[in-house]
Structure 1
Amino acid sequence: MEKKLSGPDETETRTGEPIGFKPLYAQVRERLMRRLVDGDWTPGMLLPSEMELARQLNVSQGTVRKALDSMTADNLLLRRQGRGTYVAEPEESRMLFQFFRLSPDQGSPSFPDSRVLSTGKAKPTRTEIASLKLEKTDEVFRIERIRSLSGQPILIETITLPAGRFPDFDHLTIIPNNVYRLYSERWGITIGSAEERLKAISASSRDAVKLGCHIGEPLLLISRVARDLEDRPVELRWSRCISRDIHYAVNLR
């Protein structure tokens, strides 16, 4: 029979670490998440079997399966029929629906191309300090780029990163389209969640030149704070989007 938590004393696993008072599958999930955070499990890696994980954590296989199912639902793991469970990679196809919500009014969703306009290191603004939980003495990297669908510019994007989390970012000669894959492969930072806010604005003269639209044309301003697996903010992103042929789509469940 599987262990049940009761009373004020903490139950321990065979490793001697306290399990705590949360539902057992949630405690197992936290232990497995720690392996992702610490880099013991890296993107694309095959996980041990459910039976082996259950043995390691001294819980039932059903509890391990529930924890893995929860992580799979959050796109952190990938189940492959007959092959096992793998650590998810920040692939474009997965990110398209998890982190990119703009879709054309006609046709199927696709991942946009990018063209970098500028990069640089600077002192953070008050908004960046608040959003990324920085100190005034910290520095940030900023990247501005144009993103296009089918060759048509649809948004101007400004990405701000805390320099302390991304050492030597300014030494990159090429910034790839899929920056979340870059964060994961080069700095071991996996984006686990993001919070977005939307607001209607009018295109400035600079927006009009970059996006090929009219001054004053309605744009959609999307601000995003992306967080790592420990829920720490690691990226602030501002996107100014033309909405004449695209829309923001989200599925509510």
Structure 2
Amino acid sequence: MTRILDQTEVLGFRPLYRQVRDRLIRNLVDGVWAPGEALPSEMQLAADLGVSQGTVRKALDAMAAENLVVRRQGRGTFVARHDEERILFQFFKLVPDSGVPSFPDSRVLSLSQGRADANERSLLALTPGSKVIRIKRVRSIEDRPVIAETISLPAALFPDLAGMAVPNNLYGLYAMHYGITIANTQEKLKAVGASPDDAAILGVTPGTPVLRIDRLALALDKTPVERRLSICLTQDLHYLSDLS
């Protein structure tokens, strides 16, 4: 008979609910449940994993706090989608000084593929000779260009991206077309002067003060999958680190 373990027990010096969380996240990584799909009930998951229902509930609560799943009262637990509302809440931190947050529109300026440079190899954990896809685009809020953005992606993870139309919502594309869910990001912020190229894109003079956001996006299994360098005009915007 399977012994039902209590959520306070630990195996391998880690709380049991964290181990259950890791097992469930592995299912997300492996595509067992797709974005928007309902997970099995807590009772079924508990039976499948041989743990108590309370342990499963605590694991799912932890995943909900990380925005990996969505709990809907009376309906169950669903894999989170990378829709614009979620990205605005979790990843896009530039907010108008007057007004409510809004998801920016994007226009692709160039899309190319080439050999990764040393910085891209280091950030994306690539081997020498690896190729990356580079996307250059401008992002606008209320029809005003405010972000000049350069994105680097491992070509091996996105094999046909260089030949397709790039949507505004890239994280949604990663999840739905490639099965890659962005779970976390690491950001470095610095005040700099706009370069001539970025100034031309943003319609300002070179040297105009801008905020540089250097972001590394990580998949559910912590694999680095995107380096994004954003040059942001912040005269009428501010960076809000927590929208909750």
Quick check: 1:208 aligned with 2:183?
Answer: no
Q: Where does residue 8 of structure 1 map in the other structure?
A: none
Matched-pair contact (CA < 8 Å) for 1:20–1:27: no
Structure 1 residue 20, shift from structure 2 partner? 4.2
Kindly state the Cα deviation for residue 58 of structure 1 after the two structures are TM-superposed.
1.2
Q: Which has the higher contact order (CA 8 A, sep 6+)?
A: 2
Distance in 1, Cα, partners of 2:193 & 2:64: 39
Match of 1:94 in 2: 86
1:103 is paired with a residue whose SS is strand
TM-score of the aligned structures, taking structure 1 as reference length: 0.91
Q: Unaligned stretches of 5+ in structure 2?
A: none
Count of matched residue positions in the alignment of Structure 1 and Structure 2: 242
2:241 maps to which residue?
250
2:184 is aligned with 1:193: yes
- Aligned partner of 2:37 in structure 1 is 45
- For 1:85 and 1:50, the matched residues in 2 are separated by 9
1:197-228, Cα deviation, whole Å (9 max, x unpaired): 00111112222221011221101000000000
Any conservation in 1 of the 2:69–2:80 contact (CA below 8 Å)? yes
Letter in 2 for 1:55: A
Q: Which residue of 2 aligns with 1:70?
A: 62
8 A Cα contact 1:161 1:234, kept in partner = yes
The aligned counterpart of 2:128 is 136
Q: TM-score, normalised by structure 2?
A: 0.95
Indicate whether 1:239 and 2:230 are aligned. Answer: yes
1:222 to 201, 213, 231: 213
Partner of 1:184: 175
2:19 is matched with which residue?
27
Distance 2:140 2:243 in 1: 26
Q: Distance in 1 between matches of 2:157 and 2:184?
A: 17
| Identical columns (%) | 53
Q: Which runs of 5+ in 1 are unaligned?
A: 6-10, 12-18
* Aligned mates of 1:24, 1:207 — CA distance in 2: 49
Code of the aligned partner of 1:41: W
